Structure 1
Amino acid sequence: MKRKNKLIIGNLVVLALLGLVLGTVYYRFNHRTDSWKSLQNEKTLKIGIDDTFVPMGFRDKNNKLVGYDVEMARAACKKLGLKPDFQVIDWSMKETELNTHHIDAIWNGYTVTPERKEHVAFTKPYHRTGQVLLTRDDSGVNQPQDMRGKPLGVQSGSSGFTLFQTNPQDLKQYLTSAPVQYDTFDKAINDVQVGRLGAVLIDEDYARYYLAHSHPKIPLKIVPTNFPPDEMAVGVRKEDKTLRKKLNWAIQELHRNGTEQRLARKYFGTPQPPQQKQPMQPQPTQKP
């Protein structure tokens, strides 16, 4: 009888401890608080990036972290009196890294999508880009329809390849064969230059960076497409309403004082790519 009572008491203790743990987890996930004060105290903003994403965030020949988004983030943090602490993360785990507080923001060519809005809060979009065709000047390709009978290159797993598959009316319908898949854009661009491909479907930001910095021997040109554009924003935790408001203000200031235009010229070779028909130009607001 005593042994049975001890077993019952032991089970009750285990259940009580389990209830305490589950209650703590539930409270933490359902009573999250705005972290702005702690960010101010630490004077640091932990930013999650993929440091291989040219031209938004990558390593230069000296292994220094550079890129359009990297410099935008540094300039915005300076406005807010914070030091950016760039954390290289597994990009497939970015939302988990954010919501477990390993990072405070996702800022690295982060495209706004309905699915991502379920997990994070986005700032106002600050940059718009899209998919274009990169082709030789003498290819005769001036619009997607001109790709009839010409081989197309794509990067496996890229957003461009996804759009190519889900929006067949924009390009796929004009091809007579399946696109050639590459693991990197530079290999596809090389095949465009030597005439193995009619064009490569590529992110416009990457295409403009390549043309501005690689100076290819064979003249290349960008041909617009009708694929829907991507809007980029900074992702923060949903409870971090103050941080979101502060970042919106800082980004607006970077647009207003010319910093964004300077960085666009530096990394894309132009302050306003043609694909960006409605540039992200927020109206000036007072400091929050």
Structure 2
Amino acid sequence: MKKIKLWAWGMVLIELLVAPLAGCQHQSVTSRANQTDTWNKISQRKTLVVGLDDSFVPMGFRQKDGTLAGYDIDLARAVGKRLGLRISFQTIDWSMKETELRNGTIDLIWNGYTKTPARAKTVAFSHTYLKNKQILVSKKATGITSPAQMQGKVVGLQSGSSGYTAYNDYPQYLKRYPRQAIQYDTFTNAFLDLNANRIQGMVIDSVYANYYIAHQKDPQSYRTLTVGFPSEDFAVGMRKGDRTLRRKINQVFTQMAHDGSLDRINQKWFGEPNQISFAAKK
């Protein structure tokens, strides 16, 4: 009996000793991310590591031959060229993006990344370079023409996405209606279930939905609905300590907006020029 008690007290003591160490380690990583400017390190290695979800069309996705393509791929490479840096794209678990950034696995989150107050607490953002909104996509066969008609049905969301955040932060628009919400690791898997009627609607970025639907065999079989979620700003996410990198990226964005380069990338992927004004940005 005494041995058991001694063992139990020993385990409690170990937990008491380990917990503060783990907390200190986390604090150290966070403090380093918030305070350390890594520009010299980045410029020496001449490479920027960009974290992305490589299934997010048209922002960053794999083509049939496995190569990366997309709006953000083109934009990141154009910015890298002007900074004299090579861009290395790293596929990540999107729900772990801020952790990967803080730990130094990646230097930037650049993949249709939405500015939010919650994210701004841990991440520094570049200038906005593209507008977006969260919409509800369904199949016309389900007859859903308003959020209220999702009553008792199943909705799909991508884990860690801004759509997931909007769905929960603004329950008055949609959340009060479905009987169940299913989370997916990618929108591609959510679309598979939507097409199979395993879910009847999905909350998704308009830029993704419009591009994906336009490239389906029967685009007319889908319906998109604006349900009231606020519009969103896409920006590049980086560590708060990387002030030099943030300044340089913002300078390049402004240059590209003024010389027409940003408009050309927008025209290529969306068929229209960029609507963001950089007149007041410095």
Using a 3 Å threshold, how does the CA distance of structure 1 residues 48 and 156 change in structure 2: closer, same or farther? closer
Task: Answer yes or no: is 1:69 the counterpart of 2:69.
Answer: no
* Partner residue of 2:276 out of 261, 280, 288: 280
CA displacement at 1:156 relative to structure 2? 5.7
| Amino acid across the alignment from 1:109 | G
Q: Distance in 1 between matches of 2:147 and 2:33?
A: 49
> How many residues get paired?
251
Aligned counterpart, 2:104: 101
Aligned counterpart, 2:262: 260
Q: Distance in 2 between matches of 1:263 and 1:189?
A: 30
| Amino acid across the alignment from 1:242 | T
Q: Distance in 2 between matches of 1:205 and 1:31?
A: 31
Please say if residues 150 and 198 of structure 1, whose CA atoms lie closer than 8 Å, have aligned partners that are also in contact: no
Matches within 5 A, 1:1-288: 29=32, 32-136=35-139, 143-144=146-147, 147=149, 151=153, 153-155=155-157, 157=159, 159-173=162-176, 175=177, 178-179=179-180, 181=182, 183=184, 184-191=189-196, 199-216=201-218, 218-268=220-270, 271=273, 279-283=275-279
39-48 or 263-272: bigger deviation: 263-272
Q: Distance in 2 between matches of 1:60 and 1:79?
A: 26
CA RMSD of aligned residues (A): 3.6
Larger radius of gyration, structure 1 or 2? 1
Q: Distance in 1 between matches of 2:101 and 2:273?
A: 31
Using a 3 Å threshold, how does the CA distance of structure 1 residues 92 and 156 change in structure 2: closer, same or farther? closer
Q: TM-score, normalised by structure 2?
A: 0.72
CA displacement at 1:270 relative to structure 2? 5.0
Using a 3 Å threshold, how does the CA distance of structure 1 residues 46 and 217 change in structure 2: closer, same or farther? closer
CA displacement at 1:217 relative to structure 2? 5.7
Identical counterparts, % of pairs? 38
236-245 or 114-123: bigger deviation: 114-123
Gaps of 5+ in 2: 1-24
| Amino acid across the alignment from 1:229 | S
| Amino acid across the alignment from 2:182 | Q
CA displacement at 1:75 relative to structure 2? 1.0
Query: CA offsets per residue over residues 180-224 of structure 1, 9 Å max, x none?
Result: 6374222244146xxx87644322122111122224264434222
Gaps of 5+ in 1: 1-21, 273-278
